[in-house]
């Protein structure tokens, strides 16, 4: 009569490299191997993958027939398939989540590159505008300084012209005053001559009258 000596499920601590195996030994011989889902998937579904350990006393069924052992194997296979199906769904969800993560990561990378390009463009534009503004400011200051020099020069020239004009006016005033003085003197002389001629004429008239008498 075949007897189930030991049933083991070996859990793997590194679930990326190993899978736990269901080892079934009947009468000390390896009956078969059934691969089950990774430990981490079973842990996520709160399934126990540490396995059943059956001693020789626990391995016998109530009637001690191999049928109970086969039923136990079928039960374990059914549980294994259920766990594998659940893992496949979880793997699909993980794949979708990974794809979404990669898409978001790519979108973030694109957004970061776009931000860096726009930031560099903004910095270049700002630097260019700063250089242009500095050049315009320097040019404007040069023009202002040149205009101030021209204004100062014109002011100096105007003051010189005003001084010359005042001097010319003073000279002309002196000439006019001198001419007025000469004219007044001439008038006095003419008046004196007129008076002298009048006196002479008067005296001559008196003398003529005296001769006639």
Candidates 152, 139, 126, 20; CA nearest to 83 is 20
- Nearest in space to 75 (alpha carbons), one of 24, 20, 5: 24
| DSSP-assigned beta bridge partners for residue 7 | 24
Look at residue 171 and tell me whether its pLDDT is greater than 50: yes
pLDDT of residue 162: 93
Whether pTM exceeds 0.85: no
Residue 47 has pLDDT above 50, yes or no: no
Task: Give the angle 130-136-138 at the CA atoms, nearest 5°.
Answer: 100
Quick one: average pLDDT of 125-142?
91
Q: How far apart are CA 168 and CA 159, in angstroms?
A: 14
Q: Is 2 exposed, middle or buried (0-12, 13-18, 19+ CB in 10 A)?
A: middle
Cβ 90 vs Cβ 41: under 8 Å = yes
Q: What is the pLDDT of residue 43?
A: 39
């Amino acid at each position: 009569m075949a007897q189930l000596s030991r049933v083991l499920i070996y859990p793997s601590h590194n679930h990326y490299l190993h899978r736990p195996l269901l080892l079934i030994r009947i009468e000390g011989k390896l009956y078969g191997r059934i691969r089950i889902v990774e430990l981490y998937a079973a842990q996520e579904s709160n399934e126990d993958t540490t396995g059943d350990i059956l001693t020789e006393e626990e391995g016998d069924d109530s009637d001690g027939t191999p049928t109970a052992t086969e039923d136990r194997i079928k039960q374990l296979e059914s549980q294994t398939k259920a766990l594998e199906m659940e893992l496949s769904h979880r793997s699909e969800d993980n794949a979708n989540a990974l794809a979404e993560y990669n898409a978001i990561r790519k979108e973030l990378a694109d957004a970061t590159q776009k931000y860096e390009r726009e930031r560099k463009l903004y910095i270049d534009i700002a630097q260019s505008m700063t250089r242009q503004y500095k050049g315009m400011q320097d040019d404007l200051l040069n023009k202002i300084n040149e205009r101030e020099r021209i204004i100062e020069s014109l002011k100096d020239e105007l003051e010189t012209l005003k001084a010359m004009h005042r001097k010319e006016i003073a000279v002309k005033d002196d000439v006019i005053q001198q001419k007025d003085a000469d004219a007044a003197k001439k008038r006095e002389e003419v008046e004196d001559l007129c008076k002298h001629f009048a006196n002479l004429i008067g005296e001559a008239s008196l003398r003529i009258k005296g001769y006639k008498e």
